[in-house]
Structure 1
Amino acid sequence: MLFPSRDAHSSTRGLKVFVAVICLAIVGLEGWRDWTERQQEFARIESEMQNLARSLAQHAEDTFDLADAILVDIVDRLERQGAEANSMIGMQEFFSERIQTLQALKALTVYGANGFVLGSSLPGHKRVNVTNTVFFQHHAASPARKWFFGPLIRDPLGGDWILTMSRRLNKPDGTFSGVVQVSIPPRYFGNFFGRMDLGSQGAIVMFGTTDGKILSRYPYFEKAIGIETETSEWLTGSPSGSRFYVSPIDRVPRLAGYQRNHVYPVVVLSAVSQQEALRNWTLELQLRLLGVAVLIGIICLLGWRLARELSRREQVEAELAILAATDGLTGLANRRTFDSRLEIEWLRAARDGIPLSLLLIDVDQFKAYNDLYGHQQGDACLRKVTAVIAGGVTRPGDFVARYGGEEIVVLLPDTNEDDAIRVAEKIRAGVEALALHHEANAPTYTLTISIGSVTQRPATDRSLAGPAGLIDMADKALYQAKQSGRNRVSVAKAA
C-alpha cells in the first residue's frame, strides 16, 4: 500500500540554496569591489611615484646644469688668461669661493695635459695624476667641446665615490691643454632625497643609464653605491613609467615610478613599500570584511532559522496531509483517497487497454462481534484483519483502503480475473488462519471475511461504464458471497 509521496524538504533546501546564493553574491561583489579599489590604489600610488621621480630627475638635471655652468665659466677664463702654473696661483682662491657656497659640488679641479693637478678648490693635491681616468682619456682623445658626464669613480683627491662632469681645455692653437672637472658627491643626492616622505621603507635611487650602476640612494648605503642592478626596463624602455620590484639591496617589495632624464645619462626611481602603501586600503579592507562577515552571519542565521521553521511547518503539513488521507483506526487510506486513486487507475487502464480488478471485503457478522466483545476488541480485531489484507498484496501499484465500517477495498491495477481471485483467496485464507473466536459466526465460530471480486477493461467512453460501476459490481458480488454462506470469494461477471 503506497500513498502519494511528497518531498517535505524541497522548500527548505530551496531556501538554504537561496541564502547560500545571496551570501556568495555578497562575497563576490565585495571581492570585485575590493580588487577594483586595490587596482585603483596601485594606479594612484604609481602615479604619485612617477610625479615624484619626474621632479627629482629635474632637480638632478638642475644640479648638473649648475656644475656645467661653472665649468663653462672656468674654461672661458683659463683659455683667455692661460692655464700655466703661474696664472693658476691667483685662481686658487677663486675656485674655493665658487665651490664652498654650493652644497651640490665637492671640488673644482683643473688638470694639465700631463694629467697632474694645476689647481683645485681643495688644496694640497699637486701630485695627483688622472691620466688613467675615463674623463681625462675622453677629452684627450676627443676635440669636442661639449661637457662629459663621467661614470661613477673614486675621487682622485680623496677616495670617496664621486660623479664627474668635465670640459676640455684647449691651447690657442686648438690643441689639448688639460681638463676642468667638477666632482659631485652621491651623498648630496641621498641627503636631498631624504627630504621626501616615503614612509619607513621607501627608497629613492638614481642610476646611470650607461652602465646601470647605482649612483646614489636614499636610505644612503655606502656599500650600495656602484652596484650594478637589473634595470633594463628603466634604462632602455619608456623614458618614464611605473612597476613593481623587489629591491636587491634590502629585499623589500616596492611600488616604483621612474623618470629617465633626457639631457644627462641618469634615471631616478622613487618607490614606496607595497605593505606601507596599501596600509590604509588593507585597514579598510579588514573593516569591510568584518562587516561583510557579520552581515553574512546574520543572513545565514536568519535563513537557517527560517529554513528550520519552514521544515517544521512542512513536516506538520505533510503529517496533516497523511492524516487527511489515512484512516485513523487501521492506518489504511481512507475513502476519499481511494476514490481519487480509483479515478487515476481507471483512466490509466482505459488508456493502456489493461484490466483493472477490485476486491471489496467485509468482515462477517462484525456488528455481532462488537456487541459480544465490545468496540475496543472490535477495533483490535479490525486492525488484525487489515494487517492480513495489506500483507496479501505485494506489488507496488496495489492499493488498500478502508471503504467504510468493516469494509476494506483492494485495488489491483493490471490484474486479470484469475490473478484477482488468487489474491482474494490468499487474503481470505489469511484471515481465517488468524483463528479469532467469533461466537456469533456459525458454523465455524471463527472470524471470517467475505470478498466480492470484479475485473474489467475500462473504456475511454465514460457513458458506457465508470469507476462507480466497478464498485457497484464488486458490492453485488460481495452480497452474493454473503448470501452463499460467507467466508468465500464471489466473482462478479461483467455485463
Structure 2
Amino acid sequence: MPHSRRELGKALVPLRVAGFVALACLAILALSGWREWESREVDLRNAEVDMANLARSLTQHAEDTFDLADTILTGMVDRMEIGGTTPAAVAKIQTFLQARKYNRQRIRGIFVYDETGRWLATTEEVDLAGLDNSDRDYFRRHRASNDRGTLIGRPVKSRSGGQWIITLSRRFNHPDGSFAGVVLTSIEVAYFTQFYRRFDIGPNGAISLLNADGIMLARSGDEDGAYVGRDMSQSQLFRTLPGRPDASVYYFKSPLDGRQRLSFYQLSSRYPIVILATKDQDDVLAPWRRQAVVRMAIVTSLTLSIGLIGLYLVRYLSQRQRMAAALVAKEADFRLLAEECSDVVMRIGLDARILYASPSCARIFGWDPAKLLGTPALAGINSEDRPRVQHAIDALKSGEAEEARIVYRTRHREKAEIWVETALRVTRSSISNEIDGVVAISRDMTEQKDLQDKLASLATLDGLTGIANRRHFDERLEEEWARAKRDGTSLSLLLIDVDHFKKFNDQYGHPAGDACLRALARILAAQARRPGDLAARYGGEEFALLLPNTGAEGCVEVGERVREALRELSMLHALNPPSRLVTVSLGGATNVPAQAMVSDSLVAAADRALYAAKESGRDRLVMSGQVVAWPGAKTA
C-alpha cells in the first residue's frame, strides 16, 4: 500500500508541476494586466491635471482680456457722460480715439453709437456717414435695459473689417438718466485662436471659449470661423451645467467631430464665459498603448517561456527514458534551422576555405552551395574591403577575439556587387578546445545600405528649398577654406537676403513666402555651375553662395546674374518700392586665406557688405571693402 502511494505520488508530480506552472503564468498575466490598467489610469489622470492647469490659465487669460476691454469701456462711458454727444464733444472723442495706440492684437476696435445707433466715433479708419448699428442685438438690449454693466455679446462679423469679433458693450446716459447711446469694444476671434495655437494639446486636441449660454466664441484650429457662433446649449455639458461645479473634469463624445474626448471645463467667476480644454482620448492613450503592447509582448514572451520550460520539465519527468531520442531530434531541429534559415550560414576552416554553405547561398549570392565547397572564402570580396575582412578573420583564428561583425561588398554571380553584413564566431574542437575554424552568418544589406546613404544625403539638405542646409554649408566652408589656404587660391562668398521678406509674408501669406524662397533657391542652384560651388540656405530668408577659386570680379559677375535672374521672374511685392517686385540685397567677400586667418572672417566680411547693401537702398550688390554712398549722407 505505501509503495502504491509512492508510485501514485511520483505519477502525480508532472501534473502538480504543470498546475504550478499554469498558476504562475496566470498570476503573471493577471498582475501585468492590472499594472497596465493602473498605468492607463495614471496617464488619464496626468492628462486631466494638464487640462485642468491649461483651462485655469486660459480662463485667467480670457478674464484679463475682458478686463482690459471693460476698463476701456468704463473710461469711455465716463467721457461720454461728462462731455455729451454734441458735435464738438464727439470731435474730441474721435480725436482721442485716433490718437490712442491701443494693442490692436488684443482689442480690435472701440466704437461709440448714439441713441439711434448712428456711429459717432471709432478707432477704425472708416467713413462714419450712413453707418447704423441699431439692428445689433447688443444695441437693442442696452436700449431696452437700464443695466449699466458690461454685456458680452454673441460673436458677429465686423461691419468695418468683415472679421469675426466678440463684442463687449456698455450703455451711457444723458444727464437726465435717459438712454444716450452705446460704447463698444471688439476683440477678434482670431486673437484667441492664434493664442490657443501656442499650446501643444495633441493633433486632435481642442480649446474652446464659450459664453455661459453655450454659444461658441472661439475654438483652436478654427481658422475659417466655421464653429464661431455655433449653439452648443443642447450638448450634454451645458444641459447639466447648472448642477455641476464651476470647474471639473468632463469626458464626452464631441458633437462637432464625434471623437471621444478628455476635457476640463472652467466657469469664469467674473464673466459669463466657459473655457473647455480637451484632448482626444486616443491621443492621450496612444503612448500607453504602444508601451503596453511592448510590455505585454515581453511579459507574454516571458510567460510563454515559463510555460515552455514547465512543459519541457513535465515532459522530462514523464518521458525521461526517451531523453536520448529527444536529444537526437533536437540536433535534427538545429540542423533544419540552419538549412531553412534565410541568412547564409558558412563553416570556414583554418585555411580560409569554405567547408559548408547553407542552401540560402543560392538566393543571397547566386551560387550553388555545393560548388562553393573548398573555395577561398574571401574570393568574391571587394578588393578595398578585403584587408579589413582578412584582419577580422586573422584576429579570430589567433584567439584575439571570439566574435566579430563586419559589413563589406562582395560579388554576386548575376548582379553587381552587393553589401553584406556577416557575423563571425570561432568554433572550437570538442576534444582539445582549440580553435578549429569560423562560423559566418551573412545577410544581404544592400537595401539597408542604400537607405542609409539616402538618409545621409537628406541630412545635408534644407527641407523647404532642396539646396544645402546651414550645417552642410559650414562643413563645406571649412573644407574650401583649408583647401584655399593650402593652395593659395581665392575663395569668394555671397550672402543674399530677400528685401522686406517679412512684409512679403504678411501681405501674401506664408505659402507665397515659401514659394518665393524656393524660386530664389532654384536661381542660386543654377548659378552654382562648377562642382565646387555650393548654394545653401543660410537661415530664414538669407542664402549663401560659396565660390571656390573665384576672384572678386567673378564674385560680382555671379551676384549680378542672380539679381538679373530674379528680376526676370518678376515676382510681385507691392511693399518693396520702388520696383514693387521681389528683390535681393547681396554682400560679397573675396579672400586668399592666410595662415593666421579663420573662415569666420570671410563670413563676417560678406555679412558687413550685405548690411551695407541693405542700408544703402537694397536691391544691389556690395563687395567687402567697397565704398558706398549712404542714403541722406552729406558731402563736404
TM > 0.5 fold call = yes
Cα–Cα, structure 1 residues 314 and 17, in superposed 2: closer, same or farther, change >3 Å? Answer: farther
User: Which residue number corresponds to residue 115 of structure 1?
Assistant: 117
The residue aligned with 1:348 is: none
Q: Secondary structure at the match of 2:140?
A: helix
> What letter matches 2:50 in structure 1?
E
> Which of residues 158, 165, 170 is equivalent to 1:155?
158
Matched, 1:34 2:41: no
Contact 2:120 2:128 in 1 (8 A): no
Distance 1:209 1:282 in 2: 37
Q: Percent identity among equivalent residues?
A: 35
Q: What is the identity, as a one-letter code, of the residue corresponding to 1:307?
A: V
Is the 8 Å Cα contact of residues 154 and 229 (structure 2) preserved in structure 1? no
Higher relative contact order (CA 8 A, sep 6+): 1
- What is the CA-CA distance between 1:161 and the residue it aligns to? 2.4
1:168 to 165, 171, 176: 171
Q: Does the 8 A contact of 2:153 with 2:168 survive in 1? A: yes
Q: Which amino acid aligns with 1:239?
A: D
Question: What residue identity is the alignment partner of 2:171?
Answer: R
- Show CA shifts across 1:409-454 (max 9, x none): xxxxxxxxxxxxxxxxxxxxxxxxxxxxxxxxxxxxxxxxxxxxxx
Shift of the alpha carbon at 1:4? 7.2
Output aligned runs, 1:51-450, within 5 Å.
51-98=53-100, 100-122=102-124, 123-210=126-213, 212-221=214-223, 222-229=225-232, 230=235, 231-232=237-238, 235-236=241-242, 237-312=244-319
User: 1:234·1:258 contact (CA, 8 Å) conserved in 2?
Assistant: no
Q: Which residue of 1 aligns with 2:372?
A: none
Look up the equivalent residue of 1:245 and give its one-letter code. Answer: F
- In 2, distance between residues paired with 1:228 and 1:175? 34
What secondary structure does 1:184 align onto? strand
Shift in alpha-carbon separation, 1:136–1:55, aligned structure 2, 3 A: same
Please list the CA deviations of residues 284-312 of structure 1 after superposition, one character each: whole Å capped at 9, or x if unmatched.
Answer: 21221122012112101110011001212
1:19-45, Cα deviation, whole Å (9 max, x unpaired): 111111000011111111211211111
Closer, same or farther: CA 306–97 of 1 in aligned 2, 3 Å: farther
Q: How big is the alpha-carbon RMSD for the aligned residues of Structure 1 and Structure 2?
A: 2.4
Deviations 1:111-144 (A, max 9, x none): 1001111111112243222222221122112222
Gaps of 5+ in 2: 324-636
- 1:12 CA drift (Å): 2.0
Give the Cα separation in 2 of the matches to 1:16 and 1:214: 63
**Structure 1, residues 355-401: CA drift from partner, whole Å, max 9, x if none?**
xxxxxxxxxxxxxxxxxxxxxxxxxxxxxxxxxxxxxxxxxxxxxxx
For 2:104 and 2:162, how far apart are their aligned partners in 1?
A: 20
Question: Which position in structure 2 is the counterpart of 1:403?
Answer: none
Cα distance change on mapping 1:99 and 1:144 into 2, 3 Å:
farther
- 2:226 alignment partner, SS class: helix
Alignment partners' CA distance in 2, 1:97 and 1:268: 34
Distance in 2 (alpha carbons) for counterparts of 1:259 and 1:233: 16
Whichever residue aligns with residue 112 of structure 2, its letter is V
Q: For the Cα contact (< 8 Å) 1:56–1:268, is it kept in 2?
A: yes
Q: Which amino acid aligns with 1:198?
A: I
Pair 36,112 (structure 1): closer, same or farther in 2 beyond 3 Å: same
Q: CA deviation at 1:99?
A: 5.8
Residue 104 of structure 1 aligns to a residue whose secondary structure is coil
Per-residue deviation, residues 153-193 of structure 1 (Å, max 9, x unmatched): 33343443221111111111111110001111111111111
**Which 10-residue stretch deviates more, 307-316 or 126-135?**
307-316
Contact 1:247–1:254 at 8 Å: present in 2 too? yes
User: Would the aligned equivalents of 1:99 and 1:106 in 2 still touch at CA under 8 Å?
Assistant: no
Which consecutive residues of structure 1, in runs of 5 or more, have no partner in the other structure?
A: 317-495
Q: Does the 8 A contact of 2:208 with 2:275 survive in 1?
A: yes
- For 1:71, the aligned partner's letter is L
Cα distance in 2 for partners of 1:254, 1:28 equals: 29
TM value normalised by structure 1 = 0.59
2: CA distance, partners of 1:94 / 1:9: 103
What amino acid sits opposite 2:98 in the alignment? S
Partners of 2:99 and 2:241 lie apart in 1 by: 37
Which amino acid in the other structure matches residue 163 of structure 2? D
Q: Secondary structure at the match of 1:201?
A: coil
Please give the alpha-carbon distance, in whole angstroms, between the structure 2 residues aligned to 1:232 and 1:69: 30
TM-score by length of 2: 0.47
Instruction: Give the conservation status (yes or no) of the 8 Å contact 1:107–1:183.
Output: yes
Q: Is the 8 A contact 2:171 2:179 kept in 1?
A: yes
Aligned residues: 313
**Aligned equivalent of 2:12:** 10
1:253 Cα offset (Å): 2.9
| Residues 235, 267 of structure 1: 8 Å contact kept | no
Answer whether contact 1:119 1:126 (CA < 8 A) is retained.
no
Instruction: Quote the residue 2:629 is aligned against.
Output: none
CA distance in 2, matches of 1:116, 1:246: 45
Tell me if the contact between 1:214 and 1:226 (Cα under 8 Å) persists in the aligned partners: yes
- Cα distance, 1:262 vs structure 2: 1.0
